[in-house]
Amino acid sequence: MTHPRLHQIHEIAIAAGLDAIALVPGANLHHLTGLDFHLMERPLVVFFVPGRDPVAVVPALEEERLAACGIPMTLFPWSDSEGFGAAFAAAAGALRLRSKRVGVEELRMRVLEANLLDEYLDATLVPAGQALAALRLYKDAEAVRALREAIAISQAALEKLLGLVRPGMTEREVAGLLIVAQLERGGGKHPFEPIALAGPNSALPHGEPGERRLAVGEPLLLDFGTTVRGYASDITRTFSVGEPSPRLVEVYEVVRAANEAGRAAAKPGVPAQEVDRATRQVIEEAGFGPYFTHRTGHGLGMEAHEEPNIVEGNAQVLEPGMVFTIEPGIYLPGEVGVRIEDNMLVTANGAESLTTFPRGLRVIGV
Q: Does residue 148 interact with ligand GLY by CB under 6 A?
A: no
Q: Does residue 204 interact with ligand GLY by CB under 6 A?
A: no
CB-nearer residue toward Mn ion: 57 or 203: 203
CB-nearer residue toward Mn ion: 19 or 223: 223
Question: Are the C-beta atoms of residues 70 and 34 closer than 8 Å to each other?
Answer: yes
d(CA 57, CA 76): 5
CB-nearer residue toward Mn ion: 325 or 355: 325
d(CA 185, CA 193): 17
Q: Work out which of 148, 267, 295, 359 binds ligand GLY, going by CB under 6 A.
A: 295
Which 3 state secondary structure label does DSSP give 259? Answer: helix
Which 3 state secondary structure label does DSSP give 324? Answer: strand
238 binds, among Mn ion, ligand GLY, none (CB under 5 to 8 A by kind): none
Min. distance of Cβ 136 from ligand GLY in angstroms? 18
Site for Mn ion in 230-259 (CB under 5 A): 234, 236
Region from 81-89, 155-163, 254-262, 290-298 binding ligand GLY, contact rule CB under 6 A? 290-298
Output the DSSP codes for 97-137.
-TT-EEEE-TTT--HHHHHHIIIII-PEEEE-HHHHGGGTS
Q: In the chain, at which residue ranges do the beta strands (DSSP E only) sit?
A: 20-23, 45-48, 55-59, 74-78, 101-104, 124-127, 195-198, 218-224, 227-228, 231-232, 235-241, 297-299, 306-310, 323-326, 329-332, 336-339, 342-346, 351-353, 363-364
- The amino acid sitting at 156 is A
Q: Work out which of 298, 301, 306, 307 binds ligand GLY, going by CB under 6 A.
A: 298
Min. distance of Cβ 173 from Mn ion in angstroms? 20
Q: Does residue 294 interact with ligand GLY by CB under 6 A?
A: yes
CB-nearer residue toward Mn ion: 234 or 303: 234
234 binds, among ligand GLY, Mn ion, none (CB under 5 to 8 A by kind): Mn ion
Q: Does residue 223 interact with Mn ion by CB under 5 A?
A: yes
d(CA 109, CA 232): 22
Any idea of the CA torsion for 121, 124, 125, 131, to the nearest 10 degrees?
-120
Q: Which of 76, 227, 239 lies closest to 149, judged by CA?
A: 227
Q: Does residue 62 interact with Mn ion by CB under 5 A?
A: no
Site for ligand GLY in 299-328 (CB under 6 A): 327
Min. distance of Cβ 234 from Mn ion in angstroms? 4
Q: Does residue 226 interact with Mn ion by CB under 5 A?
A: no
Region from 52-60, 131-139, 251-259, 291-299 binding ligand GLY, contact rule CB under 6 A? 291-299
321 secondary structure, DSSP code: T
CA distances from 233 to 147, 158, 245, 296 (A): 6, 12, 30, 16
Q: Does residue 325 interact with Mn ion by CB under 5 A?
A: yes
Under the rule (CB under 5 A), what is the footprint of Mn ion? 223, 234, 236, 325, 341
Under the rule (CB under 6 A), what is the footprint of ligand GLY? 205, 294-295, 298, 327
